[in-house]
Amino acid sequence: MTYNKSTQLFSYETYFLEEKKSWGMSVYFPLHGEEDIEISLENSNAVKGSFINSMAGSGRKQKREAAFFLQNLSYVMRAINNANKYCDTINGVGQCVVEKAVFDYVQDDKKISLTRILGDKSLVLDMAQLKDGKSYKTTIKYLAMQSEKTPIISLELFTSNCL
């Protein structure tokens, strides 16, 4: 994860809580400990957990950026979890609409991409199947349009085991 000009490496576990209809992630930072995030798959404003405060830091701008990133992560998780409800695609191209958030959607044999443009910023999710056919790399970037090479927030997740 890259945020606020700092890069953090971590291990993580994700889980789906069917009774709460939510997705969660426990993140383990070396020498720091565990942080959690839980995202409701029914309500985009229901994002909670210690990861939010750690990510946001103390500055007002960082809190706004973190809140925007996490709210859009909630939209993305809802779209992926229930594509039939939120996405309208033909031959792997189309749009996903979650509440008022509109994402461009592109899918091929090995990759899914969701992109949301909002003013001078964008949120991009790329999920690609790796060569072994079992692992995935998911990249989520929150970008300022004028500097697409350096994201405001970037999260790369490598998934190797799905139960």
Band the pLDDT of 45: cuts 50, 70, 90.
low
Average pLDDT for 127-150: 76
Which helix (DSSP H) or strand (DSSP E) does residue 15 occupy? strand 11-17
Give residue 41's pLDDT: 75
Higher-pLDDT residue of 146, 26: 26
- Domain-by-domain residue ranges, the chain? 8-159
Q: Cβ(41)–Cβ(95) under 8 Å?
A: no
Residue type, 38: E
How many other CB atoms are found less than 10 A from the CB of residue 72?
A: 23
Tell me the range of 36-40, 92-96, 106-110 where mean pLDDT is highest: 92-96
By CB atoms closer than 10 A (0-12, 13-18, 19+), residue 73 is buried
Tell whether pTM > 0.85.
no
Quote the mean pLDDT of the chain.
79
Q: For residue 61, what are its two tokens?
A: 């701008």
Give residue 148's pLDDT: 58
Give residue 56's pLDDT: 56
Q: Is the model's pLDDT at 162 over the cut of 60?
A: no
